[in-house]
Structure 1
Amino acid sequence: MNYFKSLLLLIVLCISCTTKKQSPPNFTIAFGSCNNQVLENTLWSSIEKNKPNVWIWGGDIIYSDTNDMEYLAKNYERQKKDTSYANFAKKVDVLATWDDHDYGMNDGGMEYEQKEASQQLFLDFLDVPKNDARRTQKGIYHSKKYTINNQSVKIILLDTRYFRTALTPDTITKKRYQPTINSAASMLGETQWKWLENELKTSKASYNIIMSSIQFLSAEHGFESWGNMPNEVTKFEGLLKKTQANNVIILSGDRHISEISKKEIEGINYPLIDFTSSGLTHSYTNFTSEPNTYRIVDVVSDKSFGILKIDFSKNEVVMEIRGAENALFRSYTQKYF
């Protein structure tokens, strides 16, 4: 009889273990890029199913390569009034940076003549108050900290357009750009670099999430990336060592594909991950292959968005590439210590 009682108890315990719900993450970030305002974005309901605490636009919120600010404003307004997006934005905190097509110039940098006016329209789209520092500073870089119990996440949004010096065209191969030998070339500009150093140096956050818009680690494809300015890559990695900021993760977009890259950097106690998510309304459906030394998750060329699920108790971040109907394309879990 005791044997059967023990067996019954074991069965009950097994059933209890299998039916126990997994505890939700402490903080969830959703992000994406490449959203053409004239195309339907069917992903908002799927993104919402993940119950994100924050949505981060990774750039190319609209497509408006132009010097006509009235035209740019109309396109922002069209996106802002999109019913699906408007309803989503009412429920989720929205942060953003820009990339070239919402900045106003394809592959554009500091040479864009309308950058000051474009900046104000970008901030209008986000309903940034008139007394916010971004209204008077040059560039749209910004940060925000989220506190969860006694833990925190800092989100740092870089401006890779306003101060960026000219890229070097590739005249040898079929690639668009090649790495520059100009040591004075800059991705962020002196003022933003100082700001970024201070943001990392003073951060007490458990995780520091940096939105870059363009890729940091993947650089062999020859399109826009930090790799076009090797001096700036070295400078950024040096900043991680110097500041010893906790668990920096880079988010990026731009490429119309999604992938996850990872690099071990001597001098910091965690691997640097660059999670690319692109695009929301259109993607590189003809993608076959391209080199990326640091790729750890296969490329997704379907329309998709990125999810980061941060669990403080487990010291881990689950990174997911998801698409229509919230389908899970790829997943990667990184442990932090």
Structure 2
Amino acid sequence: MTGCKSASSGAAYDLQNGDFVMAFGSCNKQDEENLLWDDVIAQNPSVWVWLGDNVYADTNDKREKRRAYEEQRYQEGYREVKKKMHVTGTWDDHDYGQNDAGANYPYKEDAQELFLDFMDVPRNHPRRMQEGVYHVEEYATPKGKVKLIILDTRYFRSPLTKNFGEGKKKYLPNRAPGSTMLGEEQWKWLETQLFKSDADFNIIVSSVQVLSNKHGFETWGNFPLESERLFKLIRDSKAKAVMFLSGDRHFSEFSRFNAEGMRYPLVDFTSSGLTHTWEDLQKEENPFRVGNFVTKKSFGVLRLNFAENKATMLMIGDNGEVLHELEQGY
């Protein structure tokens, strides 16, 4: 079964001063106040993208997990978001059901059912028959097309390699053949999405960071062969303007990498901390970071301009404060 297009595919979306606008974020505790929903609405995006940890439901109890989702669903600010824009996204570990869990999590089928309920996926939709929550959405505008490729980095992911030796890193890179982030079915699907893409911008959503690979927590860097495969796929596909959105880390940052053979740098916009952040973080190694990281609660905004072939990336805090900004031309 392959990840299929959302019902939003083919819809016509308006532009703001020539820009297609989407907003996104992660790490949202349903029992803590989210002060950012009014700021999200003020940006007037066409789409809100959940990057994972959309609720915190670290439980194997299906009823408890459903209760967490329902508590989030009926929050006033989020209800307004759903009225004003299309909502989509992926999950991470805390809405999957267990910290750092992967393919071995025994309750992942129940977790997927509840996630799709939260995302209002119809009961008869093909995504209900698919293993994993990966899917694709396309947004047609008067000036061009945006393709949102949403990955599932949980359902098929191989076990992580724990660090039992010296140092503070929780996990170590695993180069064992056969270890995977996505599983072969999802890899085949991703290859199709990139090689056949006619979009002007191709945005890949990964709940965990793609580029930052030295911190020893969850990252694509825990599976170096998978990272290499991903970069090669993007290069070989010749898909236009590929960039990443990620969450998970409880702080936000921009990472940029000049991959071999690429016509443009790859950017990973990590947006993390809607209701809570790693406020006392002083430093963390990331050879690809652009500027400094941001530990204030924030969400991300992506403005895609077709005429200038440019992406403007903004980290937005409470009261609309711009915390960090990056432009990338393609």
Question: Which bin holds the TM-score, normalised by the shorter protein?
Answer: over 0.9
Deviations 1:116-152 (A, max 9, x none): 1110100001110112221001000011000111410
Give, in angstroms, the shift of residue 227 of structure 1: 0.2
Distance 1:89 1:121 in 2: 18
TM-score by length of 1: 0.92
Distance 1:93 1:112 in 2: 30
Show the counterpart of 1:269: 263
Show the counterpart of 2:315: 321
**SS of the counterpart of 1:213?**
coil
Show the counterpart of 2:205: 211
1:133 aligns with 2:126: yes
Q: Is the 8 A contact 2:162 2:172 kept in 1?
A: yes
**SS of the counterpart of 1:275?**
strand
Show the counterpart of 1:36: 29
Show the counterpart of 1:331: 325
* Large movers: runs of 4+ above 6 Å: none
Distance 2:41 2:100 in 1: 31
Distance 1:261 1:319 in 2: 12
1:107 aligns with 2:95: no
Show the counterpart of 2:230: 236
Amino acid of the residue matched to residue 32 of structure 1? G
1:166 aligns with 2:159: yes
Structure number with higher relative contact order (C-alpha < 8 Å, ≥ 6 residues apart): 2
Higher helix proportion: 1
Amino acid of the residue matched to residue 90 of structure 2? T
**SS of the counterpart of 1:196?**
helix
1:95 aligns with 2:92: no
Show the counterpart of 1:117: 110
Show the counterpart of 1:17: none
Give, in angstroms, the shift of residue 242 of structure 1: 1.8
Q: Is the 8 A contact 1:153 1:208 kept in 2?
A: yes
Of the candidates 148, 157, 170, which is equivalent to residue 141 of structure 2? 148
Show the counterpart of 2:66: 73
Deviations 1:85-111 (A, max 9, x none): 011111110011000000001100011
Mapping of residues 171-182 of structure 1, within 5 Å: 171-172=164-165, 173-182=167-176
Of the candidates 64, 74, 77, which is equivalent to residue 57 of structure 2? 64
Q: Is the 8 A contact 2:213 2:220 kept in 1?
A: yes
Give, in angstroms, the shift of residue 269 of structure 1: 1.0
Amino acid of the residue matched to residue 246 of structure 1? K
Aligned residues: 314
Distance 1:281 1:301 in 2: 11
Give, in angstroms, the shift of residue 268 of structure 1: 2.1
Distance 1:327 1:150 in 2: 29
Of the candidates 276, 281, 287, which is equivalent to residue 275 of structure 2? 281
Amino acid of the residue matched to residue 139 of structure 2? Y
Show the counterpart of 1:301: 295
Deviations 1:41-88 (A, max 9, x none): 010001111111101000000001111001000110000011110111
Amino acid of the residue matched to residue 64 of structure 1? A
Aligned-residue Cα RMSD (Å) equals: 0.9
Identity of aligned residues (%): 47
Amino acid of the residue matched to residue 183 of structure 1? P
TM-score by length of 2: 0.94
Show the counterpart of 1:12: none
Q: Greater shift after overlay, 128-137 or 68-77? A: 128-137
Distance 1:69 1:204 in 2: 40
Q: Is the 8 A contact 2:314 2:323 kept in 1?
A: yes
**SS of the counterpart of 2:175?**
coil
Distance 2:136 2:284 in 1: 33
Give, in angstroms, the shift of residue 25 of structure 1: 4.0
Amino acid of the residue matched to residue 249 of structure 1? M
Amino acid of the residue matched to residue 292 of structure 2? D
**SS of the counterpart of 2:45?**
coil
Deviations 1:179-215 (A, max 9, x none): 0131211000000000000011111000000110100
